Chains A and B, each alone.
Chain A
Amino acid sequence: MGNHAKPVRIAALGMEQRTYSTLQLFFHGHCQDSYVLVEEKSADISIIDMDGFQAYRMLEEHKKHYPDQPSILISLSDNKAHDAVYVRKPIQLEALSSALRSAKKRLQQQPVAKISVPKISVKEVAEAKASVAKNTAKNTPKLQTADNTPNAVPPVLNDVIHRPKTVVKHAKPGSNHFNQYRYAADALTEDTDIELIDTKLAARFNPLNPVQVAKFQYQSKQTLQGYFQQAYFMALQKKRNIVLKGAWRPITILYKSKQLRVEKNFRHLYALSGMFFDKSEVSIAVLDNSVDCEPSIHETVLPAEPFLWKLSMRTSRGRVPVDTNFTAPIKLIRWPNFTRTIVTPHALRIAALWAKRPTSLVDTANYLAIPLQYVFIFYNAAVSLNFVTPEMAKKDRTTTSSPPVKRHQYRKIFQDLLDRLRNN
């Protein structure tokens, strides 16, 4: 944490939970905590999602109560109706940073007296958050979401609370923001997650520098991804159904069909991807084969592999599990079923390369001339499903001497065809 100045307090309003989590991550990681998410009443600046249910009403209310608070509006469409700063989704890192800078400038131009609430420290903010974190999903009032999904689970705070057993209530019933929370289309926030990855960060990555290595690794075993992975492969190996419990509604793994029984609103599980859970908070139980595994009316059945793939992709955020060897050649054992699973950036090229000639993570980025973090995202998802395996590194190399695969004589034709396939 390199920034000791008082953080600027930001209220995130009308935000789908994953956008909220992503913002949080962005403030914490990229901005080194120079911004912090707080409640609306104690904020200096607000960021408002204009694609939410009743977003305009919420904006009007907000303007009425906090006329001097600079606001940044984010939206899928180009809406210039208000004199606020607009940032288009999917959010580009640079666009958001510059919007924040200009909002901050406006804030500094305001007379001090207008900032009515006392300044609070990061510690106070964290405490405030912890205190709202008391509500469990159980005693949270049912939220009516825009798509009429009842009982949506409110946004989860991660990063701040290290081992949360609880989910955080983001809107009070009766408040103007009561209806704001909804599940947005999947694609939106996935793009947003990836867009928010600062690809310059790994531009001069040196696999021999432990400080840099640590930055791009995470304790995968302590994430939902890690526990799920453990439970899933245990189910396949034991040929038994397994139930995974923790700070989420139980997930039942059906080994035979490689499916999951999860609550209907399973999408919030992806938002848990940024959290760490202690072993004591998670249980993995083998079910008796006689247990009835039919889904209840609150549940749905999903294919397990695409779920784990997506969860790992979300968890990665451009990082790989601890102990990943950055210079060992990676071999592709199995192509992911790409028509039915998310194609992460450059996934097809990476997969093809690793199928043809095992190549290390670092060399892959060099050879394909793509950001290292995209290689990490693909690797993280693929390794969680055992689709790839590192081979023993022959020697520690950090640079590629020659391209691992030679240029095909018909490359130009293939390139033309690729462009044609993309264009229509």
Chain B
Amino acid sequence: MTNYKIIFTGPVGAGKTTAISSISDRPPVSTDKVATDMTRNVKKTTTVACDYGTVRLNGSDCLHLYGTPGQQRFDFMWDILTTGGIGLILLLDNTRPDPFQDMEFFLDQFQDFINQTQVAIGVTQTDLKSAPCIDDYHKHLDKQGSTIPIFEVDARKRQDVSLLIKALLFSLDPGLVENND
């Protein structure tokens, strides 16, 4: 039995826990705690260790979904998290003061991992705040030279999260066959 991991990362409140719950077979194990100090005025609960969900595949294989805590003081865990990972989903919250800075921060943190795998970016809460638009995110990335899938995503919608993961999978291997698409 082999285990594979997709890692979900992003700032506090971007929707990592929610995204994992919308595609996990079982309700994810979360370590949400009532937020204290720095996150309290952002949201009621926050993930303090990590989220964990699973998707059972054929045979005994299993895909593990790991969500990193959004609070930056947990960054010592990130290396442990990424071992065995097949790709990264970065969720960004469009209502945050500087989502581009968030993007740069997380891409930088996971740079080595991304170089070995792929990343797909979902921008959440665009229903609450429509600017900046997806195009603006692309413009910020143009400097980097790589073409990363960036979609508007509502973490509560399975379809959105699923499309983001599909884009990640095809980026890893465009030769995959989507039956019925």
Judged by a CB distance under 8 angstroms, whether A352 is at the interface is: yes
Of the listed stretches A83-91, A157-165, A242-250, A330-338, chain B binds A330-338
CA–CA, A333 and B141, complex, Å: 11
B167 in contact with A352 (CB, 8 Å): yes
Collect the chain B residues with CB atoms within 8 Å of residue A411's CB: 173, 175-176
Least Cβ–Cβ distance between B118 and chain A, in angstroms: 9
Beyond the given A367-B175, A415-B176, please list 5 additional residue pairs across the A-B interface where CB-CB is below 8 A.
Answer: A334-B135, A335-B150, A348-B167, A368-B175, A421-B165
Question: When the two chains form the complex, which single residue of B150, B159, B178 contacts A337, counting CB atoms closer than 8 Å?
Answer: B150
Return chain A residues, CB-CB under 8 Å to B166: 348, 418, 421
Cβ of B106 under 8 Å from chain A: no
Asked if A172 lies at the interface with its beta carbon under 8 angstroms from chain B, I say: no
Instruction: Check if B173 sits within 8 Å of A346, measured CB to CB.
Output: no
Cβ of B60 to closest chain A Cβ, rounded Å: 12
The residues of A that contact B133 with a CB separation of less than 8 Å are 258
Residues on B with beta carbons closer than 8 Å to the beta carbon of A418: 166, 169, 176, 178
CA distance A340 to B162 in the complex (A): 13
Min CB–CB distance A108 → chain B (angstroms) = 39
Mask, A4-20, CB within 8 Å of B = 1, is 00000000000000000
Question: A349 with B58: in contact, given A337-B134, A337-B151, A417-B165 (CB under 8 Å)?
Answer: no
Which residues of A323-351 are within 8 A (CB) of B?
332-335, 337-340, 343, 345-346, 348-351
In the complex, A142 Cα to B175 Cα: how many Å? 51
CB neighbours of B55 from chain A (8 A): 417, 420
Residue of A nearest to B139 (CB): A334
Q: B148 contacts A338, CB within 8 Å?
A: no
Determine whether A413 belongs to the interface, using a CB cutoff of 8 Å to chain B.
Answer: yes
A-B pairs, 7 with minimum CB distance: A352-B170, A408-B173, A353-B174, A355-B147, A416-B57, A352-B174, A335-B149
- Shortest CB-to-CB span from B70 to chain A, Å, is 22
- Find residues 387-415 in chain A having any chain B CB closer than 8 Å to their own CB: 403, 405, 407-408, 410-411, 413-415
Distance of B137 from chain A, by nearest CB (Å): 10
B86 touches A (CB below 8 Å): yes
Does A408 lie within 8 Å of B172, measured CB to CB? yes
What are 26 pairs between A and B in contact, CB < 8 Å?
A258-B135, A334-B147, A335-B147, A335-B148, A337-B134, A337-B152, A343-B181, A345-B181, A346-B178, A348-B166, A348-B170, A348-B178, A349-B170, A352-B170, A355-B171, A356-B171, A413-B63, A414-B86, A415-B177, A416-B57, A417-B55, A417-B165, A420-B55, A421-B162, A422-B178, A422-B180
In the complex, chain A residues whose CB is within 8 Å of the CB of B151: 335, 337-340
Whether A338 touches B63, Cβ cut-off 8 Å, given contacts A421-B23, A422-B178, is no
With A335-B147, A337-B151, A414-B173 known as contacts, the answer to whether A419 contacts B23 (CB < 8 A) is no
A340 contact from B149, B152, B178, B181, Cβ within 8 A: B152
- Interface readout for B76-112 with A: 1 if CB under 8 Å, 0 if not? 0000000000100000000000000000000000000
Specify the chain A residue showing the minimal Cβ separation from B153: A339
Most buried by A among B56, B159, B162: B162
Identify whether the interface residues of B are mostly helix, strand, loop, or mixed. mixed
Interface of A, secondary structure class, is helix
Q: Mark B1-37, 1 if CB is under 8 A from A, else 0.
A: 0101000000000000000000100000000000000
B57 near A407: Cβ-Cβ < 8 Å: no
Residues of B35-88 at the interface with A, using a CB-CB cut-off of 8 Å, are 55-58, 61, 63, 86
Q: Which of A296-333 contact B (CB under 8 A)?
A: 305, 332-333
B23 proximity list for chain A (CB < 8 A): 421
Chain A neighbourhood of B173, CB < 8 A? 405, 407-408, 410-411, 414
Say yes or no: A416 contacts B138, CB within 8 Å: no
Instruction: List B contacts of A350 (CB < 8 A).
Output: 174
Say whether A349 contacts B57, CB under 8 Å: no
Picked from A335, A345, A407, the residue with its CB within 8 Å of the CB of B175 is: A407
How far is the CB of A69 from the nearest CB of chain B, in Å? 38
On chain B, the residues within 8 Å of A417 by CB distance are 55, 57, 63, 165, 169
Q: Across the interface, which residues of A come within 8 angstroms of B167, CB to CB?
A: 335, 338, 348, 351-352
- B14 → chain A, closest Cβ, in Å? 15
- What B residues does A349 contact at CB under 8 A? 170, 174, 176, 178
**What is the distance, in angstroms, from B136's C-beta to the closest C-beta of chain A?**
10
B179 at the interface (CB under 8 A from A): yes
The reply to whether A403 and B152 contact each other, CB–CB distance below 8 Å, is no
Which residues of B lie under 8 Å from residue A258 when comparing CB positions? 133, 135
* Pair B178/A352 contact, Cβ less than 8 Å: no
- Set of chain A residues within 8 Å of B180, measured between Cβ atoms: 422
Tell whether A405 pairs with B169 under 8 Å between CB atoms, given A335-B149, A422-B179.
Answer: no
CB distance from A344 to the nearest CB of B (A): 9
B82 to chain A minimum Cβ distance, whole angstroms, is 16
Q: A334-B147, A339-B163 are in contact. Are A416 and B174 (CB under 8 A)?
A: no
Query: What's the Cα separation between A387 and B57 when bound, in Å?
Result: 34
Q: Complex: how many Å from CA A340 to CA B148? A: 17
Of the candidates A345, A351, A416, the one whose C-beta lies within 8 Å of that of B61 is A416
